[in-house]
Amino acid sequence: MNEQLEEQASLYVLGLLEPEENRAFEAQLANDADLRKHVDALRESAANLAHTAPLRYPPAYLEGKILDAIRAERPVAAPASSLSWLPWALAACLAIACVVLAAERPKIRQEIARLEKRDVFAQMKIATLASQLESAPRASAIVVWDAEKQEGVLKLTNVPVNDANRDYQLWIVDPEYKQPVDAGAFHVSEEGTTKISFKPKARVNSATAFAVSLERKGGVAKAEGPMVLLGK
């Protein structure tokens, strides 16, 4: 295979060909089995690039939302002519299920534990917050937010120590509210790493970003001070 064709194949799998080039290439593809094989192999390699994205779990509720959406797409099945057999069939299934459950209980328990563990991570959002301060460029934070429990943990690193009359305040941006939601004021009295648990003052359904500002002691209802950290 010549270099030009290889190049076209690479650009094709990444969707980089212009519409005209794309049409011409697809016409060639339809008549060339070797080229199709080459394109398929390149596509497999390109798809693997998806693995290089930082891992981010979809929220737990999305699965249910998507299942609802596909149900709406589903053609309606024709009703059965008679359902008189149904109670008997259900009873038979239940009897079989009891036998299977008794034999498989340890395995099922393990599976439930695994699913519970997975769901714990699925409902969490993890955000990295970067410094907005020229005077402290190394300041950073990680937020782990559990949307279901409505609580989270903020881990701060290299954030400047507060003056006695100042606190930092965490804010959660949720498009449902005009103003960021107050997630509490806290004091940093030591250099290094500080870990804080927080709960927002109002329910947060969609945490799209997190921010930390510098405020007066005890915190404020609406952010006034300079932004210290920001991330999503």
Partner 1 sequence: MMRRLVGGDEGAFASFYRRFAPGLFSMIYQILQDQKESEDVMQEAFVQMWKKAATYDAARSGLFTWAVMISRNKAIDRLRSRQRRSRAVEAAAAELAVVPPESAKHADSALGQAEERDRVRAALSKLPGAQKEAIDLAFFGGMTQLEISDKLGAPLGTVKARIRRGLLALREFLDPAAS
| C-beta separation of 170 from 215 below 8 A | no
Task: Please list the residues that pair with 145 across neighbouring strands.
Answer: 125, 152
Per-residue binding letters, 165-204, with partner 1 (x by CB under 8 A): ----------x-----------------------------
Site for partner 1 contains 129 (CB under 8 A): no
Q: Give 70 or 94: the residue with its C-beta nearer to partner 1.
A: 70
Among 63, 104, 163, 191, binds partner 1 (CB under 8 A): 63
Q: Which residue has the tokens 């190394």?
A: 138
Site for partner 1 contains 121 (CB under 8 A): yes
CA 41 to chain centre: 29
CB of residue 109 to partner 1, shortest distance in Å? 17
Among 33, 53, 102, 221, binds partner 1 (CB under 8 A): 53
Site for partner 1 contains 221 (CB under 8 A): no
Using CB under 8 A, which of the segments 22-30, 67-75, 180-188, 190-198 binds partner 1? 67-75
Alpha-helical regions (H) of the chain: 3-13, 19-30, 33-48, 60-73, 86-122
User: Which of these, 4, 11, 13, 3, lies nearest to 37 by C-alpha position?
Assistant: 13
Among 44, 111, 148, 163, binds partner 1 (CB under 8 A): 44
Site for partner 1 contains 110 (CB under 8 A): no
CA atoms of 187 and 196, how far apart (whole Å): 10
CB of residue 41 to partner 1, shortest distance in Å? 6
Q: Which residue has the tokens 């593809």?
A: 29
CA atoms of 144 and 87, how far apart (whole Å): 48
CB of residue 163 to partner 1, shortest distance in Å? 30
Q: What are phi and psi of 152, to 5 degrees?
A: -160, 175
Q: Tell me the three state secondary structure of residue 193.
A: strand
Residue 185, token pair as written in the block: 């004021």
User: Which of these, 183, 185, 184, 186, lies nearest to 174 by C-alpha position?
Assistant: 183
Site for partner 1 contains 226 (CB under 8 A): no
CB of residue 137 to partner 1, shortest distance in Å? 14
CA atoms of 148 and 146, how far apart (whole Å): 6
Residues that bind partner 1 (CB under 8 A): 3, 6-7, 10-11, 13-16, 36, 40-59, 62-63, 65-67, 69-71, 73-75, 114, 117-118, 121, 124-126, 128, 142, 144, 175, 206-208, 232
